[in-house]
Amino acid sequence: MITTTQIDSNAADSLFRMLDPEGKNSIDPGKFLNQLSGAGILQDDPRLRELLDLPQFRQQIKKGNQIAKTEFNEILQQNALVKKSLSKNLVIPDFEVFCQQIQDIFLDTQRNKGGEVADYIPQLARVDPEQFAISICTVDGQRYSIGDSNTNFCLQSSCKPINYCMALEELGEEKVHTHVGREPSGQSFNELALNLKGLPHNPMINAGAMMSCSLIDNKNNSADRFDKVNKTWQALCGGKKMSFNNSVYLSERQTADRNFALAYFMREKNAFPENTNLTETLEFYFQCCSIESSSYDLSVAAATLANAGTNPLTGKAIFKSSTVQNCLSLMLSCGMYDFSGEFAFKIGLPAKSGVSGALMLVIPNLMGISIWSPRLDEVGNSVRGVEFCERLVERFSFHQYDSLTGNSTKVNPRKKENELMASKVMELIRSSSHGDLDEILRLEAEGVNPNISDYDGRTPLHLAACEDQIEVVKHFIQKEVQLSPKDRWGNTPLEDAKKFKNKDIVSLLEDAIKSQNKDHNKSKVLATKK
C-alpha cells in the first residue's frame, strides 16, 4: 500500500530533480528563487520572509553555496507555498506563459495615444501622459508588473469602492443603504441629481462617495478618521505604507463648487446622517481621493477584493465576503462612470476608474488587475485602461458569462497546458460524435491531432463511425487519418460502423482502407525496385 508520506516524498524528489537536471544532488539558491519568481512568487512576498530570513539560507545565497536535498525537503515541509509554486498548483499554473501574453497586450495597447489628461486641477494636468503601467496579483499572490508600475498616482475615484466597504463593515448594509442607493444613475458622475428618495444613486459617483465618507467613523475626529482609511488601504496593499498628495488635496478643495452644491442638495433632502458637518465631510472625501498608490500596490488591493476580502499576501481578512459581494455588484453596474453599462456588457467584470488614469479591475476568485494611464476619454475613463480590458477578455475566458457560451477559442489560464489540450481533445471527439464539422476544422487549426484517442482508445473516427456522421468520416478520410486504430476492446471504426449498421460509412471505410492498402503496397514495390 502506498502511503501519503511516500507520495509526498516522490513529489519532493521530482521537484528536486527538476531543479537539479545535471544530477549534482544540490540546487543553486539563485535558480531556486528564480523558479519561484517565474511562478509569480516574488522575493518581497511576506509569505517567503520566514524562509529568506533563515540564517542558513541567507548564508548560502551570500556565499554562493548550494541547497542540499535534505535542506530542500525541509523547505518544502515548512513552506507549502514553495511546494505549490514549484508543482504549478497555483491558480494560474503556467504563469510565465500568461505574463508573456499580458506583455503582448500591454505593448499593443501602448500604441494608443488617444484621450487627454484631466486638467480641472493643475497637478493632474502636469502628469506625463505617456506613463502606462499594468500590475497583476492573483488570489494565490502571484504577481507581475510591466511599465511604470512603481510610480505613484492619486487614487481619485478608485477610492470609492473601499470607502463603501468600510461603511458597510462599520454600519451594515441596511443602515448604509438608508443613505445611499444602489442603482446606476444614467447621468454624469457629478450630476446634480438624486434618486426618487432624495438619496445619491450609488456609492460609485461623487454624491454617493461623499455619503460613504459621512458614514465612516463619524463619531470620531477628522484626523483619526483619515488614519483609519489610510490604515485600511495599507492593509489592503499588503502592509505597504500609503503616501498623500497634499497639493492635489488643496487643489481639489479649491475647485469644489460642484461637490459642495451636491452636498448642500443632499442636506436639503435630509440624506446625511444626523449632525453631519458638511465641510469636514467634503474635506475628508478630498483627502481620500488624494491618497497615492502605485499600480504594483493597487493590484494587491484589487486581488483582496477578488479573494473575498482576504489579502492574498498576508492572509488577513480585511472585509467580510458579504461586504465584498455588495461592493463588486456595484462596481460591475456603476464603476465606470457613463460607460458602466457598456463596460459590463463587453468586459463583464467589476471595475472602478478614476480621473488620475487609474483603473482597478477585479476577476473574482482569480486576480486583481491595476491599470494606470493618465489619458482619459470623454467620460473620464483611462483610454488605454479600457482598451487593455477589451483586449484581455478577447484573449482570455475572463468575462463572467464566458462559461455559458462554451467559447473555447479563448485561453483559460486557470488550466495547465496539458489540461487545455486534453479539453480540446475531448471537444474534438464530442464534435465528431455530433457531426460538428466547423468545430472540428477549428480544433484542427489549433493543432489538435485528429488521430488522438480518449482514455478508452477511441478516436474521433470511432465516434463518427458509431453515430453515422458521414460528412465527418469523409473529412477524416481526406485528412488521411489512421483508418483502423483499435480501442481498448479491440474494435476499429469499421467494426463499429458494422455493429451499428451504418451501411454508407461501412462502404466509405472499406473503400478507403482498400485504397490505402493499395497505395501502401505500391510504395513498397517502388522501394524494392530502387
Catalytic residue among 135, 157, 185, 299: 157
Tell me the residue type at 180: V
Closest by CA to 235, choosing from 315, 165, 136, is 315
CA distance 212 to 195: 16
CA distance 496 to 487: 10
Catalytic residue among 164, 240, 337, 373: 337
- The secondary structure of 10-77, three-state, reads HHHHHHHHHHCCCCCCEECHHHHHHHHHHCCCCCCCHHHHHHHCCHHHHHHHHHCCCEEHHHHHHHHH
Q: Are 416 and 93 in contact (CB under 8 A)?
A: yes
**Residue that the C-alpha cell 484573449 belongs to:** 395
Kindly state the cell numbers that stand for 414: 486557470
CA atoms within 13 A on the CB side of 491: 17
CA distance 446 to 424: 9
Closest by CA to 36, choosing from 62, 77, 9, 75, is 75
| pLDDT at res. 489 | 93
Angle ∠(161,167,168) on CA atoms, nearest 5: 90
How distant is the alpha carbon of residue 109 from its chain centre?
18
**Helices within 79-140 (DSSP H only):** 80-86, 95-110, 122-125
Domains and CATH numbers, the chain: 4-86 (1.10.238.210), 98-404 (3.40.710.10), 417-529 (1.25.40.20)
Catalytic residue among 91, 135, 160, 251: 160
| pLDDT at res. 4 | 37
353: which strand partners? Answer: 359
Task: Report residue 310: phi and psi, to 5°.
Answer: -105, 125
Tens digit of pLDDT at every position of the chain (530 positions): 333 343 356 667 777 887 877 777 888 888 888 899 999 999 999 998 877 776 656 666 655 678 778 878 877 787 888 888 888 889 999 999 999 999 999 999 999 999 999 998 899 999 999 999 999 999 999 999 999 999 999 999 999 999 999 999 999 999 999 999 999 987 877 788 899 999 999 999 999 999 999 999 999 999 999 999 999 999 999 998 999 999 999 999 999 999 999 999 999 999 999 999 999 999 999 999 999 999 999 999 999 999 999 999 999 999 999 999 999 999 999 999 999 999 999 999 999 999 999 999 999 999 999 999 999 999 999 999 999 999 999 999 999 998 886 556 788 998 776 666 777 888 899 999 999 998 898 888 777 889 988 888 899 999 999 999 999 999 999 988 999 999 999 999 999 999 999 999 999 999 999 988 776 565 554 455 55
| pLDDT at res. 6 | 38
Q: Examine the residue annotation and report whether 160 is marked as an active-site residue of this protein.
A: yes
360: which strand partners? Answer: 352, 370
H helix or E strand, kind and range, residue 412: none
| pLDDT at res. 7 | 36
**Residue that the C-alpha cell 470620531 belongs to:** 220
Please report, in range form, the residues annotated as the binding site for substrate: 157, 206, 252, 259, 285, 337, 355
| pLDDT at res. 519 | 63
DSSP per position, 237-289: TTSPPPEE-HHHHHHHHHT-HHHHHHHHHHHHTT-SPTT--HHHHHHHHHHHH
| pLDDT at res. 444 | 83
- The CA-based dihedral angle spanning residues 34, 38, 39, 41, taken in that order and rounded to the nearest 10 degrees: 60
Number of residues written out for the chain: 530
Question: How many C-beta atoms lie closer than 10 Å to residue 74's C-beta?
Answer: 14
**Residue that the C-alpha cell 533563515 belongs to:** 54
Q: Tell me if the pTM is above 0.75.
A: yes
CA distance 359 to 421: 34
CA-to-CA separations, 61 to 58, 65, 239, in angstroms, rounded: 5, 6, 26
Catalytic residue among 285, 373, 431, 481: 285
Q: Are 273 and 266 in contact (CB under 8 A)?
A: no
368: which strand partners? Answer: 137, 362
Catalytic residue among 355, 362, 472, 481: 355
Please report, in range form, the residues annotated as the binding site: 157, 206, 252, 259, 285, 337, 355
CA distance 156 to 381: 12
Q: Examine the residue annotation and report whether 85 is marked as an active-site residue of this protein.
A: no
Closest by CA to 364, choosing from 351, 345, 346, is 351
| pLDDT at res. 224 | 97
Q: Are 171 and 215 in contact (CB under 8 A)?
A: yes
